[in-house]
Every structure is written in structure tokens, then in C-alpha cells.
Amino acid sequence: MAADVLEIPVPDDWHVHFRDNELLTTTVPATAEMFGRAVVMPNLVPPVTSVAAALAYRDRILHALPEESAFDPLMTLYLTQNTTVSDVQQAARNSHIIGFKLYPSGATTNSAAGVTSIADLDAVFAAMEEHHVPLLVHGEVTDPDVDIFDREKLFIERNLAPLVAKYPNLKLVLEHITTADAVEFVKSAGKNVGATITPQHLLMNRNHLLVGGIRPHNYCLPILKRREHQLALQQVVLSGNPKFFLGTDSAPHARDRKEAPCGCAGCYSAPAALPLYAEFFEQHQALHLLADFAAGFGADFYGYPRHQRKIQLQRKPWQVANSIDSTVGPITPYWAGETLQWQVVKAS
């Protein structure tokens, strides 16, 4: 393979937000173009709390796909205080449902219906452990007196460590990790605990959000942390540890919702997702690690086969669009107007 062409198995995105309805015609093709599977987040309004609602949402996603696409959306159910053991059992029986998403109430976009008391869901977690249903976790405390930069660390100490100790065989993914604390927690936990990492948390730290003016399109939750935490994420990915894998947390918002007095959290990285990760690995002379991180470790963790189909990237500089038209208005993508060195040229 020529040095300017990189071929890897088709990757998967283990954490993505599509939103719903007309916006799906923008978001779904962007992800399906370069990923074979994606774990779809359930924080719609109203949230996706039942198997029936998840399957109906999946049908809407499939309807938005280009013809002959082999893309497979893997659905999640929104965990609430009203989730039951029966809900877990139904999810376990359906191959299109990959797990439950735990949002602490108020932690991020459309999380008001999220969990207010982890302790009161013991029966649900026991059922998830018994039926091998994964728990996907947005790991932040939401106490108003806690510094926003400490929310992940304290969630691990107060909630996640006790939960994993109580249910040692529960398959759990700590989503979009941002801190050295999360890296160490996942590394020290059992093989049933993994983590996803976004492109923005590998490529940026909080200086990229705040220095030289506020950059609303770099604002996401969990928020970008100081450089020492960014370095911890980079180091564990570059170590080739299989517990850490790709999850973009791509989250579209209309530009006027981001550039607002109270701007939305979320980076819409889908249009450039794989090239963004390639950019990171090339910066560290580690392109040989991209295939496992993007197309292997996540599938292995969740128990899916790695794709046999291939995708090619070409070393050919290109500029990410400044704006993307959508039914909710213009969207500014992550890395807008900036140049990336690799682009997707062919999937087979």
C-alpha cells in the first residue's frame, strides 16, 4: 500500500447522536459514509425508554440511509428512575438493542429525565449484569457546588467505583472520557469495563475553548480539560490498550443554538470523524494504531465481529466545510474551515 493511501477495516462509532425526524437526512448519511455500525444515543424529546420506541427510532434512521447502505444502527434505551427489570429483559432479547444509557439528570443535552438516584436502581443493575446487557455511562456529577472541571473525577469516586465493585460482572462503558482519573479507573477495572474517546478530547484541551475568546463550537460536555488530562488520553490510546476505543459523541446543533447567550454543548464531528482520528495518530507517528482503535477494539469489547469490508483514506489535504445546511438551519461542524491531511476516498 502506498504511503499516501491507508486501508483499514470499516470502523464503528460507538457513541453518536443523530437527533430525529428531518435532521436524520443530514446526520445519518454523514456517519454511514465511513462507519459500519454506530451506537445511537437515546436522548430525544421525549427520551427513548422502551424497546418499541427504540425500534421505531431505528426505522426512521434506516429510512434516512442512502440506498444499498450496509450501515447498522445499534440502539440504546434511556435509563430512568422508572426503568424496570422487565425493560432489561426485553432489551436483552432484542438484537438491535445494545444497552442502556445512564445520564445523570441535568448532565448534558436532553438529560432532564435522567437518573437522580443510582442507589435506587439496584434491581435494574443486577438484571443487566445477569442478562449481559451493557450500561453506557455519561460520567459526571451534577451537584451545582461542584466545579465543572471536577465533575467526571467525582462521579467516578462517588458513583462509578462503588457500582463496579457491587456488580463486578456488569459490562460497562464510560463514555467520552476526559480525565487522567478516568483513564486510570478504566485501566484498573476488570475486562468488562471500557471507554470511548472523542476526537475533540484527543486533539484539544480547554485552551482551545477559552484562549483568544470563547469558541462555542468546541464546547462539549464533559467539557475539555487541562492539557495534562489530554496527554493522559493521548498516551493510553497510543499505548494500544484495547479497553479504549472510538466514540465520536458527534452531536449536531444549529449554529444559532451554539452561538447563543446559553449555547448548547456538543461538537458535530461526523462529517470529518475518521480523518480527525487519522490526524491525531499521524501527529504522533502512529497511523498503524488507527485500525485497532477505530475498527477493532470496540467490536471486540461488545462482542461483535470485526468488519471484513475495507475503507481507504488518502493523504490529500482538504478543508472541512465552514457550514453545513440542514433542516434546523446552518450547522458549524467541528474543525470548521481547518485543514485535515487525510480524507476518506473509498469503502469496499
Instruction: Reduce the secondary structure of 20-46 to three states and give it as a string.
Output: CHHHHHHHHHHHHCCCCEEEECCCCCC
- Domains along the sequence of the chain with CATH: 5-344 (3.20.20.140)
Q: Does position 2 have pLDDT exceeding 70, yes or no?
A: no
Predicted local confidence at residue 253, as pLDDT? 97
Strand 310-319 vs strand 5-9: parallel, antiparallel, or unpaired?
antiparallel
Residue 329: other Cβ atoms inside 10 A: 12
User: In the prediction, which pLDDT does 113 show?
Assistant: 86
User: Of residues 249, 256, 292, 300, which has the active-site annotation?
Assistant: 249
The stretch 294-300 carries a mean pLDDT of 98
Cα 10 vs. chain centroid, distance in angstroms? 17
Annotated ligand binding at 131? The verdict is no
Asked whether residue 348 carries a pLDDT value surpassing 80, the answer given is no
pLDDT value at position 10?
98
The pTM (predicted TM-score) of the whole model is 0.97
With beta carbons less than 8 A apart as the criterion, state whether 287 and 268 touch. Answer: no
Which tens digits make up the pLDDT trace of 278-292?
Answer: 999 999 999 999 999
- pLDDT tens-digit map of 70-93: 999 999 999 999 999 999 999 999
Span 217-231, mean pLDDT?
A: 98
**What residues contact 290, with CB distance under 8 A and at least 6 apart?**
6, 8, 277, 278, 281
Span 238-285, pLDDT tens digits:
999 999 999 999 999 999 999 999 999 999 999 999 999 999 999 999
| Residue 221 is assigned to a ligand binding site | yes
CA-based angle 110:213:248, to the nearest 5? 40
Q: How far apart are CA 47 and CA 79, in angstroms?
A: 9
Instruction: Check pLDDT > 90 for residue 44.
Output: yes
CA distance 87 to 8: 37
Active site residue 249: yes
**Residue 1 pLDDT > 80:** no
* 15 marked as binding residue: yes
